[in-house]
Amino acid sequence: METLLLDSKTWLLVLTGAGVSAESGVPTFRGLNGLWEGQPVESVASPEGFAKDPLRVWRFYSQRRAGAAEVSPNPGHTALVEWERHLGDRFLLATQNVDGLHRRAGSQRVVEMHGNLFTTRCSNVDCKRAPFPDTTVYPDGTVPGCKDCGSLLRPHIVWFGEYLDPADLERIQGFAQRAVSSGGRLVFLAAGTSGVVYPASGMVDQVRAMGGETWLVNLETTESALRFKHFIQGKSGEVLPKLGRLV
């Protein structure tokens, strides 16, 4: 198997998706046994779906909270922690996962692009109440309300048709720009993602345009795999611990 050199010139930007948590027992979204299979994604992961049936949306996220609370990080998560310890500020982890497993494993330089399953916020955009930590698994048939304004509370998750936090995108872009302007070697590695959800799916092209190296670790070949220079097919929990060559 190829190895990825992680030396003092390397700036490593990692993007993870649901596949990285699969070996911990968290279901993926697409593919065999994916969560979206047989389920119209808009009904649980869009503002329209929430407006139409908030009970169904909270049932879905309460189930995911209960599931994610029971699982533990796997060797793929741990490998990323080791790489971060080695590279320090020349490492950044952007994740599409909302399960919180990267932080639980010990990753610190993490951008949770799609939000966090264990954070809740008010659905009223004019409400002053800030997003807050919330591990509650709401009983079936319950939709929590805001104590400040009475509106419905919602999961702090980026749904389809919603924008990502511009500060998150700036942090990712700023990292890649610093790598290039400092004369470093920019490396982008994506793992466990089907590469179909924008803007995360566009990161590989941006890095290539900046002259960076691109690596993909994924269980299946996807259409997006063609856009990476290096593709290693396999499970992230098996590949990542063997991939990095720390010097």
Residue numbers annotated as active site: 114
Answer yes or no whether residue 162 interacts with ligand NAD by CB under 6 A: yes
Give how far Cα 15 sits from Cα of 52, 93, 160, 190, 228, Å: 33, 6, 19, 5, 13
Give the interface with ligand APR as residue ranges (CB under 6 A).
17-19, 22-23, 28-31, 34, 96, 114, 192-194, 197, 218-220, 222, 235-237
Q: Is the CB of 41 or the CB of 152 nearer to ligand APR?
A: 41
Q: Cβ(150)–Cβ(143) under 8 Å?
A: no
Strands of the sheet containing 110-112, edge to edge, are 110-112, 91-95, 10-16, 185-191, 213-218, 230-233
Per-residue x/- mask for Zn ion, residues 136 to 175, rule CB under 5 A?
----------x-xx-x------------------------
Q: Is the CB of 6 or the CB of 113 nearer to ligand NAD?
A: 113
Q: Provide the minimum distance between the beta carbon of 198 and ligand NAD in the complex, in angstroms, as a whole number.
A: 5
Answer yes or no whether residue 45 interacts with ligand NAD by CB under 6 A: yes
Answer yes or no whether residue 199 interacts with ligand NAD by CB under 6 A: yes
| CA–CA gap between residue 143 and residue 121 (Å, rounded) | 12
Please work out the total of residues on this chain that contact ligand NAD, with binding judged by CB under 6 A. Answer: 17
Q: Provide the minimum distance between the beta carbon of 130 and Zn ion in the complex, in angstroms, as a whole number.
A: 10
28 binds, among Zn ion, ligand NAD, ligand APR, none (CB under 5 to 8 A by kind): ligand APR
Q: Which stretch binds ligand NAD (CB under 6 A): 37-45, 127-135, 140-148, 179-187?
A: 37-45
Q: Exposed e or buried b for every residue in 107-136, given b needs 16+ CB within 10 A? A: bebbbbbbbbbbbbbbbbeeeeeeeeebee
Footprint on this chain of ligand NAD (rule: CB under 6 A): 30, 36, 41-42, 45-46, 114, 158-162, 164, 196-199
